[in-house]
Amino acid sequence: MTKLISGLVAIACVAVAEQKPFPAVIPTEKPDRPLSAAMERLYDEWNPHEDRGNELYSNFKYSKLNFKREANVSRRDPTKVIKVDGVYHVWYTGRRSECPPVGLKNATDTKPGTDWDLADIWHATSSDGWNWVEDAEPAVHRPPKPEQGNRSICTPGVLVWKGKYYLYFQAYNKIGGQEYCPVRVAYADSPNGPWTHHPENALVPSPAGSWGNIKINDPCPVVHNGRILIYYKGAPIERGSEYVLRMQGVAFSDNPLGPFEASKLNPVINSGHETCMFAWKDGVAALVALDGPEKNTIQWSPDGENFKVMSMIQIPPVAPGPFCPTTFDGKGDGRGFTWGLCHINPDGGGAANESILARFDCDLSLDVDREYFK
Ligand code: AAL
């Protein structure tokens, strides 16, 4: 009996002695030793180097721009910033109305119900990304009745494709809790316009009973593998007027005017609110903010449809419109961005009750030297 016990103790000692300790320098590959659940998922689901050296991690800094806060004027949901012949361009939801938003029940033909009601698409330019000059008139006006979008056009996304410019935007005939909202597109030969409304809708809500069957929000174009991908947030009528579906889908086309074919895997992101997708290496990355269990993350997908969480971020920009010059070049070598515009929502009464555009700066570019962090 004594022999047996000492034999078992010897075997146990050998087993413990053979178990390698977790090394002081975190290995890139999963180490060949038993791992706790936390360390297993560090390798299976996360980047083992965590934030330092994780190219898709960043903090964000915010700065005021020279867009003035004005009573009854709202500027929100900027597109990506693009640079053409040395000039930066951005487009955004712009509303100039007789009063601030009065709520859906009290809205009239001239009183906006929400911040993005009675809006048009406005355009501003800058030589340095800080000082912006807004055009005197909207770049794209609401179309006349009975065309789709006659009540409000808003939340634009820009695409540069084969030397031409495309703006995709939400198009409402009525603003209400659950009103039909497809996406329309306008096109131009120059970022300075003039813009022409394409007569057909570019993206329409998905069939009855599915996740995006009443509204398509926040169209966000990216070029990947020679095709145009438009990401968007969908809303289902079944969930009622107070509900925002915190998921995002994607649709593909070879023609910027459509038709776009929705991914059979939609939704492809299970969280988020405003969309922010950009070319990253040979795939597509997404900054996911505001809503859902995977809010405040940056995700990446090799094919634009199957995303993996790459980092957790804090205080990300809301409705970001980054300056990412490689997102439309289709070279399969996305380099990310270091700044962009975003919006800051109402936070008080009077003029302070209107959304404003702000600038964010960050470090989500492959062109930033990271040697210091390794
Ligand atoms: C935005 C977007 C959609 C919403 C509203 C206007 O930031 O998510 O467009 O409907 O807010």
Q: What is the pLDDT of residues 221-253, one digit of tens each?
A: 999 999 999 999 988 887 766 566 679 999 999
Which one has a higher pLDDT value, 41 or 227?
227
Residue nearest to atom 9 of ligand 1 (CA): 155
Q: Pairing state of beta strands 356-365 and 61-64?
A: antiparallel
**Ligand 1 center from residue 274 Cα (angstroms):** 7
Asked whether the predicted pLDDT for residue 8 surpasses 60, the reply is: no
Buried/exposed code over 274-299 (b: 16+ C-beta within 10 A; e: otherwise) = bbbbbbbbebbbbbbbebbebbbbbb
Asked whether the predicted pLDDT for residue 35 surpasses 80, the reply is: yes
Q: Residues enclosing ligand 1, CB less than 6 A?
A: 77, 116, 154-155, 170, 217-218, 233, 273-274, 319
Residue 345: its pLDDT value, please?
A: 83
d(CA 61, CA 8): 60
User: What confidence category does residue 349 fall into, taking pLDDT thresholds of 50, 70 and 90?
Assistant: low
Atom index in ligand 1 nearest the CA of residue 217 equals 3
Q: Pairing state of beta strands 356-365 and 227-235?
A: unpaired
Residue 373: its pLDDT value, please?
A: 42
User: What confidence category does residue 82 fall into, taking pLDDT thresholds of 50, 70 and 90?
Assistant: very high
Atom index in ligand 1 nearest the CA of residue 319 equals 7
User: What confidence category does residue 297 fall into, taking pLDDT thresholds of 50, 70 and 90?
Assistant: very high
**Ligand 1 center from residue 155 Cα (angstroms):** 6
ipTM: 0.95
Residue 14: its pLDDT value, please?
A: 47
- Global pTM value: 0.90
**Ligand 1 center from residue 180 Cα (angstroms):** 14
Rounded to 5 degrees, φ, ψ at 249 are -125, 180
Compute the average pLDDT of residues 83-93.
97
Atom index in ligand 1 nearest the CA of residue 273 equals 8
Compute the average pLDDT of residues 42-63.
86
Compute the average pLDDT of residues 308-318.
94
Rounded to 5 degrees, φ, ψ at 372 are -55, -30
Cα→Cα distances 86→82, 83, 128, 367, Å: 10, 6, 9, 20
Q: Which residue from 115, 121, 216, 217 has its CB within 8 A of the most atoms of ligand 1, so it is best to mutate?
A: 217
Asked whether the predicted pLDDT for residue 36 surpasses 80, the reply is: yes
Residue 372: its pLDDT value, please?
A: 45
Handedness of CA 348, 149, 206, 308 (dihedral sign): negative
Question: Which of 235-244, 267-276, 352-361 has the highest mean predicted lDDT (pLDDT)?
Answer: 267-276
Residue 242: its pLDDT value, please?
A: 58
Asked whether the predicted pLDDT for residue 275 surpasses 70, the reply is: yes
Question: Is the Cβ–Cβ distance between 223 and 327 less than 8 Å?
Answer: yes
pLDDT above 70 as % of the chain: 89
Asked whether the predicted pLDDT for residue 348 surpasses 90, the reply is: no
Question: Is the Cβ–Cβ distance between 268 and 275 less than 8 Å?
Answer: no
